[in-house]
Amino acid sequence: MPARTDAATMDDAAYLERLPSEEVIYFVLPDRFENGDTSNDTGGFEGGRLEHGFDPTHRGFFNGGDLAGLTSRLDYLEELGITAIWFAPIFQNKPVQGPPGDESAGYHGYWVTDFTRPDSHFGTPEEFATFVDAAHARGMKVYMDIITNHTADVIRFAEGDETGYAYRSQGDFPYSTRGGPDGAPINEGFMGPGDSSEKNFARLTDPTWAYTPVVPEAERDVKVPAWLNDPIYYHNRGDTTFTGESARLGDFVGLDDLFTEHPRVRAGMIDIFCDWITTTRVDGFRIDTARHVDPGFWHEFIPAMERCADQAGIPNFHMFGEVFAEEPTAGYIAEYTRRDQLPAVLDFAFASAMREVLGRGQGTFILNRLYDGDVLYEGGADAALNLPTFLGNHDLGRFSTLLKQDMPEISQDELLSRVMLGHAMMMSLRGSPTVYYGDEQGFVGDGNDQMARETLFPSLVDEYNDNDLIGTDATTAEENFDQTHPLYQLIARFSQIRLSHPALTRGHQMVRHYEQEPGLFAVSRVDEEGGQEVLAVFNTSGEERSVNMWVPYDARAFVAIEGDCPAAPTAPGSAAFTIPAFGWALCRVSERAE
């Protein structure tokens, strides 16, 4: 990977000084954003789509987006107010995998074979360096999506059928706890913090506990670095059930599960990702499938990455782990900031709470309960400021889609109003707001996963092109980089508001008002260093709502930032607010009592 240019390595670059909480993140799948170079569409692979993985008519194959396309659209992102770009894994992937008749491609980036270079469908190492430099030149940070839990599926099991593809059906290789010297399953707490007992490590490496790994001849050397080709560095225990010990030892839907307890694996992963930091000067990592990796790995990996970033002169290097749960709570995801010592986690609890209040008719007390949990994170409320918040993503589905699933009869106008309110709240409440690409263009998918991964450049996928988008008459068959779209304009406006008001980026949050039914929710954001306080009031109801709300006792006057704000309190410690249906108001305390 080529080192960055002198112009892009200035130690005094202002963007380096921003705290993680000050970023507005844009999460994008490079394959689905913009096709800037059609010559790399097949990635240099010969043959048909089952060899090279490119089929722009199919949602499960490469559609053509690349690094050149991302770089060409940085002005679009800058004007949206984006300050940090998080993209799905850029590493070289196995182009196609899956059983005959059900194949799909690694367009999403999570089937890595070579951790040391960009996927050839996306571009060259030089093009990656150009992208990072161009983003930094605009004051935008770059967050890489990294994987330490698994690689592409290369290892087969001798116990499988002769085609070697049975792994794709969950349960064909059920998780193995067989054999073992005493017939008991492996201790769930194996190799935990400070635990390097010979007994647990021996169990983990005992071949009688695992399937028999077989590597096809054609793929014996496909993984890079070369040590990744040795099956000894994988668990080989069959499919995870996502419960118990299998959550850390099992194959994630057939993907080769790395033996992250092994010193060689830990050292190897540290070398790989430290090299990306030092040679490209990226600004952070989103860590895929973090909950499926043993805590002991993180206790070594996280400090090593922090040292690499410090040595490279990259302050505020941000790392946040993916901790998915069907019903996420702050208590659950906070565990991983304490036991596993992850600096931050994606705020799945926020996404869940926002769906409850805007899609499922729950009262705004749900949000109060969410923020009560901020004390549970390692570092408490200060740490919670750095959590990337989001409404929907490439796995769950788009926020608009989730709301439509919850309210099948909702009108397009009301759906747009609820989605706009969701973004206004995300951009104002604590955390680092994360916009899922295409949401700013009103995309409404048919579901999750592949159904939520449309292209912004003209699509040839029929399942995308019949979608009814919100806020526009366009379809995904057209180019969708419309800077007049109401959601684009709302996000751009709120990004500028955040930039102008430190209380909204680094200010502590105090809940001022909530209700048992859909209605008003209000917080204060207080920048203790500068003394600025902003009141943020939202109405999740379809009707206008009014309230006399608790405000700072010494507040004497307010200035409207967004929406209608009272000029002054009605009495010390109380002010009257009226908020329209699905509306909001942001009000700065402009005068205080002496």
Is residue 91 helix, strand or coil?
A: strand
H helix or E strand, kind and range, residue 527: strand 520-527
Nearest to 152 by CA among 214, 101, 109: 109
What is the number of other CB atoms lying within 10 angstroms of the CB of residue 271? 15
What one-letter code names the amino acid at 546? S
Entry field: residues in the chain: 594
Token pair belonging to 158:
């001798």
Token pair belonging to 209:
């506990």
**In contact, 412 and 468? CB cutoff 8 Å:** yes
Q: What are phi and psi of 535, to 5 degrees?
A: -95, 130
- According to DSSP, the residues that pair with 86 across neighbouring strands are 27, 143
Rounded to 10 degrees, the C-alpha dihedral 450/454/455/458 comes to 120
In the annotation, is 322 catalytic? yes
Query: E strands along 104-180, which residues?
Result: 104-105, 112-118, 141-146, 156-157
- What gap in Å lies between CA 276 and CA 572, rounded to an integer? 55
In the annotation, is 271 catalytic? no
* Beta strands at 318-321 and 284-287: parallel, antiparallel or unpaired: parallel
- What gap in Å lies between CA 265 and CA 296, rounded to an integer? 12
Sign of the C-alpha dihedral, residues 190, 192, 197, 202?
positive
Active-site pick, 322, 340, 356, 440: 322
**In contact, 112 and 169? CB cutoff 8 Å:** no
Q: CB under 8 Å to 562, separation ≥6 — which residues?
A: 424, 493, 494, 497, 584, 585, 586
Q: Could you tell me where the DSSP H helices lie in 439-519?
A: 462-465, 486-500, 503-506
Active-site pick, 153, 239, 283, 288: 288
Query: DSSP states of 273-325 as a string?
Result: HHHHHHHH---EEEETTGGGS-HHHHHHHHHHHHHHHHHTT-TT-EEEE----
**In contact, 403 and 355? CB cutoff 8 Å:** yes
What is the number of other CB atoms lying within 10 angstroms of the CB of residue 87? 23
Sign of the C-alpha dihedral, residues 297, 386, 537, 573?
positive
Catalytic residues: 288, 322
